[in-house]
Structure 1
Amino acid sequence: METARPIDLDTWPRREHFDHYRDQVPCSHAMTVDVDVTEFAAALRASTHKTYVAQIWALASLVNRHAEFRLTLTDAGEPAVWDVVHPMFTVFNPDRETFAASWVPYDADFARFHDRAVRALADHRGATSMFPQGPPPANCFDVSSIPWTAFSGFNLQIDGASEHFLPIFTLGRYTERAGRTFLPLAVQVHHAAADGFHTARLVNEFRELAADPTWVAG
């Protein structure tokens, strides 16, 4: 079983911010951006890889770069960091018009991750329960897709989520403008875990992966 590493509070630059946004002003913040994915979409069309799986892997690879997006609490209620977090993603059942939440272990090798995620999507497309694999591990973060529409804003109203520190991502439908392809991407994260700086850095790194998708064919 994977365990989280406690943070040394005496040397943690974020300690005051964590305490403030966890205890005094508990809140999350959300950012929605239109990401130019023209090169990314073209690379996927030229490959046999699935778009949704590639999007999930790109987000997972970035989340695992940064400790602020892998934050949790120990059993004693102290902040800690997972060494690795795994993506849990929605799988739509068109017959029931419901979704299942499936997860696969993160793998830095895109091809290996892709094969596992494709199998999970196929296995759970007809699922009739929300969690067909049973309770997910604590070190899972959420990715949802709304491929039926684009959007310019998306915000989850989470009740009682003062200790939900892992980020939540929502993907929308591609749009075409002036010969370029854009993807709506919404990021929601607890303010105790990360500030706008950290979220903006992650979004910009996602842009970089989309602009240079050589990893798609790898």
Structure 2
Amino acid sequence: MKFNIIDRENWVRKEYFEHYLQQQTTFSITNEMNITVLMENLRKKNYKLYPAFIFMVTKIVNSHREFRTSFNQEGNLGYWSEILPSYTIFDKKTYTFSSIWSPNASRFSEFHSQYEKDVEEYNGTGSLFPKTPIPDNHIPISMIPWSSFTAFNLNINNGGDFLLPIITGGKYSQIKDEWFLPVSLQIHHAVCDGYHASVFMNDFQRFADESADWL
């Protein structure tokens, strides 16, 4: 997958990037997303929420360069032309989890099928990373379906150089006739600001509301 080098000296974010990278400033934002329409459409087609969550998140990240900006293995700053989802699956026997990844698909039906194949193949392996090789161009996605939350914070240090977003969902809840899903976004301030966090959340809500168009 192509990695596009950023010309740091002429980059519009140069001052922001250097300041917040030195400070190792990360921040998180959590919103309760209204998934009422999404849940109705998922039930109509007998689809699961978690792969839909992964599909939506990946689509949003691939729509905005800021969420694909990182260092590559050579230490160069740039952005991936495409990001793949790396997500956790739970082992009910050992109460541990594995982190696997799936290729992107333009249609959700195709991604849902691939997701189910990967989960069936790699769940219960007793390994943290059973599917290898792990592509460099991936983002961590997870869900904590046993508990709702109003805030969540997960940090990957890596010397302060991990720039890609970390997305976590929680247990959805019903309020009157509507369903809400807590979604937490963890990002590095060197490459993303509050504006970009808001773009992510607004895009997620739009995808949920317009789910009939892509399910």
How does the TM-score come out when normalised to structure 2?
A: 0.95
Secondary structure, counterpart of 1:197 in structure 2: helix
Aligned residue in 2 for 1:99: 97
Inter-CA distance 163–26: structure 2 relative to 1 (3 Å threshold): same
Aligned residue in 2 for 1:123: 121
Opposite residue 182 of structure 2, the aligned amino acid is P
Q: Does the Cα contact within 8 Å between 2:143 and 2:168 map onto a contact in 1?
A: yes
1:173-212 deviations in whole A, cap 9, x for unaligned?
1111121100000000111120111011111100001111
Runs of 4 or more consecutive aligned structure 1 residues displaced over 6 Å after TM superposition: none
User: Structure 1 vs Structure 2: percent identity of aligned residues?
Assistant: 32
Q: How far apart are the structure 2 equivalents of 1:45 and 1:75?
A: 42
Shift of 1:127: 1.8
Worse-matched range after superposition: 127-136 or 81-90: 127-136
Q: Does the Cα contact within 8 Å between 2:107 and 2:214 map onto a contact in 1?
A: no
Opposite residue 127 of structure 2, the aligned amino acid is S
1:13-36 deviations in whole A, cap 9, x for unaligned?
11111111112x112110011000
Secondary structure, counterpart of 1:143 in structure 2: strand
Shift of 1:158: 3.7
Q: Does the Cα contact within 8 Å between 2:68 and 2:82 map onto a contact in 1?
A: yes
CA root-mean-square deviation: 1.5
Which structure 2 residues correspond to residues 52-201 of structure 1 after superposition, within 5 A? 52-75=50-73, 77-201=75-199
Q: How far apart are the structure 2 equivalents of 1:102 and 1:75?
A: 20
1:124-164 deviations in whole A, cap 9, x for unaligned?
22121000013411111011110011111101244445111
Aligned residue in 1 for 2:37: 39
Q: How far apart are the structure 1 equivalents of 2:167 and 2:51?
A: 14
Aligned residue in 1 for 2:21: 22
Q: Does the Cα contact within 8 Å between 1:4 and 1:72 map onto a contact in 2?
A: no
Q: Does the Cα contact within 8 Å between 2:69 and 2:78 map onto a contact in 1?
A: yes
Opposite residue 113 of structure 1, the aligned amino acid is F
Q: How far apart are the structure 2 equivalents of 1:157 and 1:8?
A: 27
Q: How far apart are the structure 2 equivalents of 1:57 and 1:142?
A: 13
Q: How far apart are the structure 2 equivalents of 1:21 and 1:169?
A: 20
Give aligned pairs, total. Answer: 215
Q: How far apart are the structure 2 equivalents of 1:83 and 1:161?
A: 24
Q: How far apart are the structure 1 equivalents of 2:96 and 2:10?
A: 45
Aligned residue in 2 for 1:4: 3
| 5+ long unaligned stretches in structure 2 | none
Inter-CA distance 134–75: structure 2 relative to 1 (3 Å threshold): closer
**Which is richer in helix?**
2
How does the TM-score come out when normalised to structure 1?
A: 0.93
